[in-house]
């Protein structure tokens, strides 16, 4: 990658939204320290590795799931789904807080601290602050699109690598070793960043923090998700499940009430455009279906096809290759194709991947269906995440990059956990002693979620098209936009 020129990072610029309108970027007058080529390479490398490790942390809770379950005395899928759901719940919940804290104390300091404390909440720290660092270095344009796309490619590759090493260590040693080795690697990355990453704080950044919003968000998101993921094994009729659900929803309503009244909200609800709301809706529906796709193939392969975790990992390796291809393709498309089209393609990929698995027989060659699902699904991930992140990043000034990054990252992680809760409930109610029927029910719920996402993405496309037409001046011509 060529070193960024002054035109790539520091000069005034405009952004073109999906509806064709242009707006001034508030970070145009910010001067950040010049980076040498070596600094840029090291910063990009470590930031991408941190994202890779964050996804690896999720796969380490899925690939050796039977080994982990045996340690805690359970093999019931409605209970073991808590392993990945808890990881995504914690990350998705605390990402909102991490973004706000990063705006105050500095993304450099929080990112390095997150690497030094990579467990649970630390994954929530790394994704938004990593994106905020990249968003602070690059102005909107082709170079930023490519960097964000490569950042997105770390997700499927991180998942595969995490699953591979977790499976190896579970079979050859003990599954906790995967987490201990991860901690060592994160400490090394933190040491590198201490040397090469400059201070990116802006002198005009506000030092206030939305404590009321943070508390209501953490309480609401946690209680709602605990109820949703506990219900499949405990049952919806238990009073404490219903109570947690009601309290979670009430806290969520309180959060949105607070966010409309504080000066510096965690999520600027009042300022959010219809474009950002459509994008968040598409991301939530697509990634909730992805969370279901992510968990149930392992259960299917290890329970019904009787393969080892290492064999199951080998079967998802092709996804890392197509994930990289999808990320590179996204970087190319973002500057040439309207973003709603990219989002529609992402939702179609999410849906197609689940359709293939939902119709897959137990006794069948891997190459007939499972392989194609693994090939297709990364396109949903790497088309949607960079596109949504670029849209949100371009909508906010440099001093608020963490708001954009944390909103998308929180939606992604939390949606995975919510999707698992929905699928677990469906599985518990339709299985009736038939394991395969339960798995298929979970995948059908994923198809329903991604199908709704496709509908929303199509509506988003027509809304932005109508908005672009309304901006054409009488007798004039609209600016040339991507096809």
Q: What pLDDT is attached to residue 7?
A: 41
The two tokens of residue 182 are 């991860």
Q: What pLDDT is attached to residue 281?
A: 94
Q: Does domain 34-199+264-466 have CATH number 1.20.1250.20?
A: yes
Q: How far apart, in whole angstroms, are the C-alpha atoms of residue 283 and residue 415?
A: 8
What average pLDDT does the structure give for the chain?
80
Q: Which residues contact 199 (CB under 8 A, 6 or more apart)?
A: 33, 106, 108
Q: Which residues contact 392 (CB under 8 A, 6 or more apart)?
A: 276, 279, 404, 405, 407, 408
Q: How far apart, in whole angstroms, are the C-alpha atoms of residue 10 and residue 111?
A: 22
Q: What pLDDT is attached to residue 454?
A: 97
- Better-scored residue on pLDDT, 417 or 79: 417
Residue 52: its H or E element? helix 37-59
For the chain, the domains span: 34-199+264-466, 210-263
The lowest-confidence range among 23-27, 327-331, 385-389 is 23-27
Q: Could you give phi then psi for residue 200, rounded to 5 degrees?
A: -110, 10
Q: Determine the average pLDDT of the residues in 300-325.
A: 89
Highest mean pLDDT among 6-10, 166-170, 207-211, 395-399: 166-170
Smallest Cα–Cα separation from 124: which of 410, 404, 386?
410
Q: What pLDDT is attached to residue 26?
A: 37
Q: What pLDDT is attached to residue 182?
A: 84
Highest mean pLDDT among 83-92, 198-207, 245-254: 245-254
Q: In a 3-state reduction of DSSP, which class is residue 238?
A: coil
- The confidence band for 52, taking pLDDT boundaries of 50, 70 and 90, is confident
Smallest Cα–Cα separation from 358: which of 452, 436, 470, 428?
436
- Tens digit of pLDDT for each residue in 110-152? 888 877 776 566 677 777 778 778 877 777 777 777 787 777 7
pLDDT above 90: residue 104: no
Residue 424: its H or E element? helix 401-430
Q: Which residues contact 338 (CB under 8 A, 6 or more apart)?
A: 18, 461, 464, 481, 482, 483
Kindly report the length of the chain: 483
Q: How far is residue 398 from each of residues 11, 35, 249, 404, measured CA to CA in Å?
A: 13, 17, 32, 10
Q: In a 3-state reduction of DSSP, which class is residue 14?
A: strand
pLDDT above 60: residue 339: yes
Residue 365, Cβ density class (10 Å: 0-12 exposed, 13-18 middle, ≥19 buried): exposed
The lowest-confidence range among 126-130, 290-294, 309-313, 427-431 is 126-130
- The confidence band for 475, taking pLDDT boundaries of 50, 70 and 90, is very low
The lowest-confidence range among 162-176, 407-421, 469-483 is 469-483
The two tokens of residue 275 are 């474009």
pLDDT above 90: residue 452: yes
């Amino acid at each position: 990658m060529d070193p960024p020129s002054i035109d790539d990072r520091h000069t005034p610029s405009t952004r073109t939204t999906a509806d064709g309108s242009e707006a001034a970027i508030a970070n145009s007058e910010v001067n950040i320290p010049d980076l040498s080529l070596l600094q840029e390479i090291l910063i990009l490398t470590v930031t991408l590795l941190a994202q890779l490790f964050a996804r690896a942390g999720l796969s380490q809770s899925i690939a050796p799931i039977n080994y982990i379950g045996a340690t805690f005395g359970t093999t019931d899928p409605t209970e073991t789904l808590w392993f990945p759901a808890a990881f995504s719940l914690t990350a998705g919940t605390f990402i909102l807080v991490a973004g706000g804290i990063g705006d105050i104390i500095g993304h450099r300091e929080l990112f390095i601290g997150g690497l030094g404390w990579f467990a649970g909440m630390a994954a929530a720290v790394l994704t938004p602050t990593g994106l905020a660092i990249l968003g602070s270095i690059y102005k909107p344009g082709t170079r930023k699109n490519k960097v964000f796309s490569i950042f997105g490619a770390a997700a499927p590759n991180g998942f595969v690598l995490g699953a591979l090493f977790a499976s190896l260590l579970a079979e050859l040693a003990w599954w906790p070793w995967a987490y201990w080795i991860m901690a060592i690697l994160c400490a090394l990355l933190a040491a590198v960043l201490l040397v090469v990453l400059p201070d990116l704080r802006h002198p005009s950044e506000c030092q206030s923090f939305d404590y009321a919003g943070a508390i209501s968000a953490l309480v609401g998101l946690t209680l709602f998700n605990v109820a949703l993921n506990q219900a499949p094994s405990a049952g919806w009729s238990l009073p404490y499940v219903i109570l947690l659900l009601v309290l979670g929803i009430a806290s969520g309503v309180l959060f949105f009430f607070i966010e409309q009244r504080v000066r510096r909200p965690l999520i600027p609800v009042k300022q959010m455009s219809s474009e950002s709301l459509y994008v968040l809706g598409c991301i939530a529906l697509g990634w909730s279906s992805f969370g279901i796709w992510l968990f149930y193939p392992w259960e299917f392969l290890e329970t019904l096809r009787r393969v080892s975790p290492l064999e199951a990992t080998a079967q998802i390796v092709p996804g890392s290759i197509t994930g990289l291809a999808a990320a590179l393709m996204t970087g190319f498309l973002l500057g040439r194709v309207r973003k709603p089209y990219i989002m529609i393609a992402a939702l179609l990929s999410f849906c197609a991947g689940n359709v293939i698995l939902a119709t897959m027989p137990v006794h069948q060659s891997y190459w007939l269906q499972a392989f194609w699902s693994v090939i297709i699904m990364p396109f949903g991930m790497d088309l949607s995440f960079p596109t949504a992140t670029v849209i949100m990043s371009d909508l906010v000034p440099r001093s608020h990059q963490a708001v954009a990054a944390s909103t998308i990252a929180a939606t992604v992680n939390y949606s995975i956990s919510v999707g698992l809760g929905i699928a677990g409930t469906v599985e518990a109610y339709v299985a009736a002693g038939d394991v395969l029927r339960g798995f298929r029910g979970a995948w059908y719920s994923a198809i329903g979620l991604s199908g709704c996402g496709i509908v929303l993405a199509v509506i988003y496309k027509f809304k932005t098209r109508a908005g672009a037409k309304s901006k054409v001046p009488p007798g004039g011509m609209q600016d040339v936009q991507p096809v």
